[in-house]
A and B are shown apart, each in its own frame.
Chain A
Amino acid sequence: MGVAKYIKNKADAIEKVIYQSGIEVKPFYGPKDLEATGFDYEVDLGDPGQYPFTRSLHPQGYRSRAWTTRQYTGFGTPQETNERFKYMIAHGQNGLNVAFDLPTQMGYDSDSPKAEGEVGRVGMAVDSLQDFEIAFKDIQFDRIGSGLTINAVASIMLAMYQATAEKYGYSKETISATPQNDILKEMIGRGAWIFPVEPSVRLVCDTIEYSVKELPRCNPVSICGYHIRESGATPSQEVGFAFEIAKSYIDNLLDRGLAPDDFVGRFSFNLNVYGNLWEQIAKFRAARKLWAKLLKEEYSVTEKKNLFLRGLFGGGGSGLTKEQPENNIIRGAYYGLAAALSGAQTTALCSFDEAFTIPTPRAALLSLRTLEILMEEVGLRDTVDPLAGSYFVETITKEMEDKIKNEMTRVQKMGGMVHAISSGYIQREVARQAYEFEKSLQNGEIIKVGVNKYTEGEQPDVEVHEYNDSWVGAQISSLKTLRRTRNNQEVNRSLKALEKTSKSRNNVMPTLVDCCRAYATVGEMAGVFRDVFGEWDEPCLF
């Protein structure tokens, strides 16, 4: 049953329950169990808003403020995306989460042969500042925060966001952007990497350093255990690997002479709600605590707010099924419940049709409504961390803490995350977990309703988002016009400057902003990086 491993006897009664992270669950829990873990309220929990923040970052939790909802949106041309942004904002969404198409994510222009068949398919196509000007038209940059889901060229997109905001009269101090910008997780799962590991980490950290100095309201990195989990990792690996990735970035920034208190408050996390309900709640509570402890004890971070594990707990993509797709609406509601019971600060849900393709507006709106129902109708804003003190939840939260620490120790023994990825160890480990999971699903050890139990045979078709080829022509023709009409002297000058900075140890961001202002294209800017840095040679080991 479920995502966990269930061992049953002949009478179909459950004899053993083992969570993916390896925690074995007992039939019931009492005070003695909690005692055995050495649980201490002040040390392990503290009141909400108190170190180590296991219960909540804020003393009042959702009473003072419900969560921020950020459905992942973007497709086709910037014009279409702009319409969808406004639609979601008009329906109560208070932050954007921008999806880019693969050519943009991989640093190719829409007319590159590499982009063939992919323009505008899984997100918005962006070639130049002109596209951002259209996509963010009438968006209030000082009120709406934007997640930019892009990694290898996140530096370019952040520069473009700043240049766009300035064009619309917003100063860079007032804008709030969260580029995903976590390249190490792309190398473990999701795969939208371009450059080798070291220059990739440098670009991430250039973006963070620049934000610390120039963009006071931007959170320049969102570390994504999410995709590592989607690729097959267990919940404890998801958090453990994410923390080790964060440490790689922290160490790079320390080498630049920054103090941890200068920048760790700008880190955010993207973690997955998919899986066993109790295991997820334990994971999020343990993660908040471990992150605060890690920063305080290993990096001597002192400022309280800098110890917060902030971020988006949501998604749940790998829990969705093509079979009986309406079931995904119900799954989404329970994933949202897990996020709410874990005190998620920001959330978003995969839409029920996302097992097929990117969502229709109706499906995206249903996800938003699901989250609104949880906050407005169910009672989840009543009191902070309602499960605190449960013998069961507190015991497994402590156990989860140990499991996460074990995963971190394994990575440290390999010389840290950069080494563990370069050698292919992490990728192999995640693939192995994915394979084991798939085998358990296929042999019925893990139950998925509508897939291997309660099946219905032939499936009715669902209405899905249709990819429209006519977008491609429009995008390419506007790119071609731009190349003719922009000041190409200025473009060449700014790209030369970018090349020079890329070869130096200086921060690339100011020159990138100049390139964007000159309407240099994403392909041109990423092309400079490709020439200077080369491309990553992925270890393909099993």
Chain B
Amino acid sequence: MKDKKKIRILIAKPGLDGHDRGAKVVSLALRDAGMEVLYSGLHQSVDQIIAAAVQEAVDVIGLSIMTGAHLPICVRLMKDLEEKNLSDIFVVIGGVIPKNDIPKLEEIGVKGIFPGGTRFEFIIDSIRALF
């Protein structure tokens, strides 16, 4: 873990879905764990999320996706981060993520996968362990 530097994380809601209970709850939990948390608000495009991540100089992007569109969104985000030389920003994801999709997400470089109901301490520890 980096010395004394607080982990900065952008919790982002990509796409059209507006169910943000999970995103907000996890944001509050990460903040209580001492991280600096920014919340993107709803209906963000992948471009908007990357722009916000750069502007706010975050260490981690945490996506929250409930609609089942997590695979295409993650593929796009990972590709764009790589093209923009931003692969040092870690990506984690929460939401409605079926078990079958977890290996695919890991394969494209998503560093933490937290389906609904994952314990806060597991999310916090997993993110800390990235540094």
A487: interface (CB < 8 Å): no
User: Cβ of A121 and Cβ of B69 under 8 Å apart?
Assistant: yes
A2 to B41, CA, bound (A): 32
Among B18, B40, B67, B117, which residue has its beta carbon within 8 angstroms of that of A190? Answer: B18
* Given A118-B15, A431-B28, A189:B68 Cβ within 8 A: no
Closest to A431 in B: B24
User: Cβ of B28 and Cβ of A435 under 8 Å apart?
Assistant: yes
* Given A322-B116, A442-B120, A540:B29 Cβ within 8 A: no
Interface residues of B in 49-73 (CB under 8 A from A): 67-69, 72-73
Smallest CB-CB A-B distances: 6 pairs: A191-B18, A102-B16, A431-B24, A117-B69, A435-B28, A540-B41
A451 to B69, CA, bound (A): 25
* Count of interface residues, chain A, beta-carbon cutoff 8 Å: 39
B80: interface (CB < 8 Å): no
User: Cβ of A467 and Cβ of B20 under 8 Å apart?
Assistant: no
A432 to B24, CA, bound (A): 9
* Given A102-B67, A118-B69, A122-B67, A434:B15 Cβ within 8 A: no
User: Cβ of B18 and Cβ of A322 under 8 Å apart?
Assistant: no
**Sample (30) of A-B pairs whose CB atoms are under 8 Å apart:** A102-B15, A102-B67, A103-B16, A108-B16, A117-B69, A117-B72, A118-B15, A121-B67, A122-B67, A189-B19, A189-B20, A189-B21, A190-B18, A192-B16, A193-B18, A230-B21, A322-B116, A322-B117, A323-B117, A357-B68, A431-B25, A434-B21, A435-B24, A435-B28, A435-B29, A467-B68, A540-B40, A542-B24, A542-B28, A542-B39
Which B residues are in CB contact (< 8 Å) with A117?
A: 15, 69, 72-73
- What 1/0 flags go to B67-93 for Cβ under 8 Å of A? 111001100000000000000000000
User: Cβ of B25 and Cβ of A434 under 8 Å apart?
Assistant: yes
B33: interface (CB < 8 Å): no
A114 to B46, CA, bound (A): 11
Which A residues are in CB contact (< 8 Å) with B19?
A: 189-191
Closest to A538 in B: B41
B108: interface (CB < 8 Å): no
> How many pairs of A and B residues are in contact by the CB < 8 Å rule?
89
A231 to B23, CA, bound (A): 11
A195 to B16, CA, bound (A): 14
New contact pairs (5) apart from A538-B41, A540-B40, A542-B27, CB-CB < 8 Å: A102-B67, A106-B43, A323-B117, A356-B98, A538-B42
How distant is A331 from chain B, measured CB to nearest CB, in Å? 16
* Count of interface residues, chain B, beta-carbon cutoff 8 Å: 34
A74: interface (CB < 8 Å): no
B17: interface (CB < 8 Å): yes
Which A residues are in CB contact (< 8 Å) with B43?
A: 106, 191
B interface secondary structure, majority: loop
A128: interface (CB < 8 Å): no
- What 1/0 flags go to A9-53 for Cβ under 8 Å of B? 000000000000000000000000000000000000000000000
User: Cβ of A116 and Cβ of B25 under 8 Å apart?
Assistant: no
Binding site for A on B (CB under 8 A): 13, 15-21, 24-25, 27-29, 31, 37, 39-43, 45, 67-69, 72-73, 96, 98-99, 115-117, 119-120
User: Cβ of B31 and Cβ of A542 under 8 Å apart?
Assistant: yes
A431 to B37, CA, bound (A): 15
How distant is B113 from chain A, measured CB to nearest CB, in Å? 15
A232: interface (CB < 8 Å): yes
User: Cβ of B16 and Cβ of A114 under 8 Å apart?
Assistant: yes
Interface residues of A in 145-190 (CB under 8 A from B): 186, 189-190
Of the candidates A117, A121, A186, A193, the one having the most CB atoms from chain B within 10 angstroms of its own CB is A117
Of the candidates A189, A193, A431, the one having the most CB atoms from chain B within 10 angstroms of its own CB is A431
How distant is A190 from chain B, measured CB to nearest CB, in Å? 5
User: Cβ of B68 and Cβ of A232 under 8 Å apart?
Assistant: no
* Given A118-B67, A467-B68, A540:B25 Cβ within 8 A: no
How distant is B15 from chain A, measured CB to nearest CB, in Å? 7
User: Cβ of A105 and Cβ of B16 under 8 Å apart?
Assistant: yes
User: Cβ of B16 and Cβ of A442 under 8 Å apart?
Assistant: no
Interface residues of A in 457-513 (CB under 8 A from B): 461, 467
Closest to A539 in B: B41
A382: interface (CB < 8 Å): no
A103 to B27, CA, bound (A): 27
Of the candidates A102, A108, A230, the one having the most CB atoms from chain B within 10 angstroms of its own CB is A102
A438: interface (CB < 8 Å): yes
- What 1/0 flags go to A118-131 for Cβ under 8 Å of B? 10011000000000
Closest to B15 in A: A118
A322 to B73, CA, bound (A): 23
A190 to B45, CA, bound (A): 18
A121 to B73, CA, bound (A): 15
How distant is A6 from chain B, measured CB to nearest CB, in Å? 21
User: Cβ of A232 and Cβ of B21 under 8 Å apart?
Assistant: yes
Which B residues are in CB contact (< 8 Å) with A321?
A: 117
User: Cβ of A118 and Cβ of B16 under 8 Å apart?
Assistant: yes
How distant is B1 from chain A, measured CB to nearest CB, in Å? 23
User: Cβ of B117 and Cβ of A451 under 8 Å apart?
Assistant: yes
- What 1/0 flags go to A187-214 for Cβ under 8 Å of B? 0011111000000000000000000000
